[in-house]
Structure 1
Amino acid sequence: MSEKAARRQARQQVAAYHEAELAGLVAHVAGAIDQFRDGNLDPFDMDRVLFQYSRAAKELWKYCNLGNVDVVARYIREDPAIDWWKRGTVRER
């Protein structure tokens, strides 16, 4: 495989990973919205969920976009899965 084709494949792998992981984060928000609409979450809890989503999505974006695409694709293939939702958790002081 040529270097150009390998990089294209790596970009596609990273893009597919980013899309799938982002969909998982959005699913967390969708579930929280349903709970909010049912009266099981107050506005402050909903705000915390949205804030956690924002932090998690930013971490995911940085992971997928700020490094060498070949290295990121290898990490995606070989390293254990990352819990992006947990990465977005605000640490209590």
Structure 2
Amino acid sequence: MSWRPDQQAMLAAMGYALYRQVPAPVPPPVVVARPAGFPEKLWESLVRAAGGRDPSALLPPAEQLRADARAKRALWPALRALRRRR
């Protein structure tokens, strides 16, 4: 909440410490090498879903991922688990 200067003076006189909201630091972008066969947009989505970590160990071959719906459904919970491991 922002306080007017006269309100800040009154609060300071009562002994209250006013905190300032500081924006959170922006983490540097993560560069993860894209395996062969994965389109760039898909790879960016996978890295984002993994919380910036390298998801290549969890990935089946790109052809299997395209053809098998079970592989797609199994991949997303694994990516979310990788994101939570921070």
Select the structure that is richer in helix.
Answer: 1
Q: Which has the higher contact order (CA 8 A, sep 6+)?
A: 1
TM score, norm. by length of structure 1: 0.29
- Using the size of structure 2 for normalisation, the TM-score is 0.30
Between structure 1 and structure 2, the one with the greater Rg is 2
